[in-house]
């Protein structure tokens, strides 16, 4: 009787949590599917991302900076990024204003790194994949509201996976036969098939769904990110901070420091897939630079910081530093995006994530149909 009472409570929790969050979980899963191959699709459709390889050196960051600032003189240049010998360089303009969202912008000027020719000025806040991403992160609501709604639905989904496992657990060996695979005899009703689809699919996607939920919650709630990072042994800060550059009267300014940092990064990372240098935004900012060592993922990126007046390298206390200084906990949290998208396993990982997301999207549908069928027995 106690077991029956416990399962009834769990069933009611599972039901009402599902009804409360099912439509949002469906949207999160479907938009995740649509976004899975965003990079591959854009590489095919947006030809300005690529250039013909030439037997000559790239233009220096200061030269690309001058061209880019002339194109968007009213905006703040965030970074110059080189993507290899056969891809366009990027001048990234970005601003986020919490007080006035109308001041927000995110533009990328794609340039030929050999000639400086402007190939495209792309608004990264527009287009189909941006619409998909806004749905996945914010449910197309104002960001402060949407992020909370999405994160809350993801947390509910995490609880549903746990309650679902409790409900799925068979009471005996005979019942277990129906929990691991579809055993449909001729004449079995659609209602039973739908029930099996929900239970069996839920069991097989549960482990990956848990990973999706946990990695999603790392972005959704700061308290969750800190708790998760601390639980796995992390000790650094998760908040990005730019080291301070302090001008000394006795030190003369270094000419074209951005170019010098670029040369240092090239020397230290000859096999880097991309190198990015950030012009200092204020008189006290450092020159940030990073090199990505692995095409298709981000976690192996080395982040470095240089005093804009002396080029003396500065160390940081947050996780966005050198990969060599990262602990296992730091690496796992840095892998969060690559794990969430499946990119950690390359293209096969993305395909797998796409298929699992489709199956996850089916769970709110089959779950709703189970509930609807019980309320409307004559109509099923």
4's CB contacts (< 8 A; 6+ apart) are none
Burial state string for 35-63 with b = 16 or more CB within 10 A and e = fewer than 16 = bbbbeeeeeeeeeebebeeeeeebbbbbb
Confidence of residue 250 (pLDDT cuts 50, 70, 90): very low
pLDDT in tens, 3-55: 558 888 998 899 999 999 999 999 999 999 999 999 999 999 999 999 999 99
Contact 111, 68 (CB under 8 A): yes
Mean pLDDT of 173-177: 66
Percent of the chain with pLDDT over 70: 92
The model's confidence at residue 176, banded by pLDDT at 50, 70 and 90, is: low
Q: Are 59 and 68 in contact (CB under 8 A)?
A: no
What's the rounded mean pLDDT across residues 138-157? Answer: 95
What mean pLDDT do residues 136-147 have?
Answer: 94
pLDDT tens digits, 203-235: 999 999 999 999 999 999 999 999 999 999 999
For 217-221, which contacts have Cβ atoms below 8 Å and span 24 or more sequence positions?
Answer: 217/151, 217/154, 217/155, 217/158, 218/333, 218/336, 219/137, 219/151, 219/336, 220/147, 220/148, 220/150, 220/151, 220/152, 220/154, 220/155, 221/151, 221/155
Averaged over 51-63, what is the pLDDT?
96
Would you say 275 and 81 are in contact if contact means Cβ atoms under 8 Å apart? yes
C-beta atoms surrounding 350 within 10 Å: 20
* Cα 13 to chain centroid, rounded: 30
What are the φ/ψ torsions at residue 118 (nearest 5 degrees)? -80, 120
Contact indicator for 15, 375 with CB cutoff of 8 Å: no
Place of tokens 């450092």: 286
What are the helix (H) ranges across 72-189? 128-138, 143-168, 173-180
**Cβ contact 287:306 at 8 Å:** yes
pLDDT more than 90, % of the chain: 76
Asked whether the beta carbons of 334 and 302 are under 8 A apart, the reply is no
State the pTM of this model.
0.89
């Amino acid at each position: 009787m106690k077991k029956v009472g416990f399962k009834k409570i769990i069933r009611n929790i599972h039901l009402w949590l599902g009804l409360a969050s099912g439509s949002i979980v469906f949207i999160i899963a479907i938009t995740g599917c649509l976004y899975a191959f965003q990079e591959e699709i854009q590489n095919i459709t947006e030809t300005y991302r690529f250039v013909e390889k030439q037997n000559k050196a790239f233009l220096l960051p200061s030269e690309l900076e001058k061209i880019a600032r002339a194109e968007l003189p009213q905006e703040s240049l965030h970074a110059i990024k080189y993507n290899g010998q056969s891809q366009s360089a990027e001048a990234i303009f970005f601003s986020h204003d919490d007080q006035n969202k109308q001041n927000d912008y995110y533009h990328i000027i794609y340039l030929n790194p050999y000639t400086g020719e402007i190939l495209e000025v792309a608004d990264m806040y527009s287009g189909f994949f941006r619409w998909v991403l806004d749905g996945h992160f914010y449910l197309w609501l104002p960001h402060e509201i949407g992020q909370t709604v999405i994160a809350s639905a993801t947390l509910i989904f995490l609880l549903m996976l746990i309650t679902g496992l409790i409900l799925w657990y068979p009471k005996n060996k005979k019942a277990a036969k129906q929990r691991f695979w579809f055993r449909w005899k001729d004449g079995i009703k659609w209602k039973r098939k739908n029930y099996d689809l929900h239970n069996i699919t839920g069991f097989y996607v549960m482990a990956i769904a848990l990973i999706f939920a946990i990695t999603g919650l790392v972005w959704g709630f700061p308290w969750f990110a800190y708790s998760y990072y601390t639980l796995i042994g992390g000790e650094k800060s998760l908040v990005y901070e730019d080291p301070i550059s302090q001008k000394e009267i006795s030190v003369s300014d270094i000419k074209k420091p951005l170019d010098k940092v670029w040369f240092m990064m090239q020397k230290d990372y000859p096999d880097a897939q991309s190198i990015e240098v950030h012009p200092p935004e204020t008189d006290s900012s450092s020159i940030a630079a990073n090199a990505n060592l692995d095409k298709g993922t981000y976690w192996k990126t080395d982040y470095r910081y240089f005093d804009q007046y002396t080029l003396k390298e500065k160390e940081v206390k947050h996780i966005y530093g050198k990969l060599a200084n990262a602990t296992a906990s730091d690496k796992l949290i840095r892998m969060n995006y690559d794990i969430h998208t499946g990119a950690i396993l390359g293209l096969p990982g993305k395909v797998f994530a796409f298929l699992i997301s489709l199956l996850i999207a089916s769970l709110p549908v089959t779950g709703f149909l189970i509930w609807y069928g019980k309320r409307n027995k004559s109509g099923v």
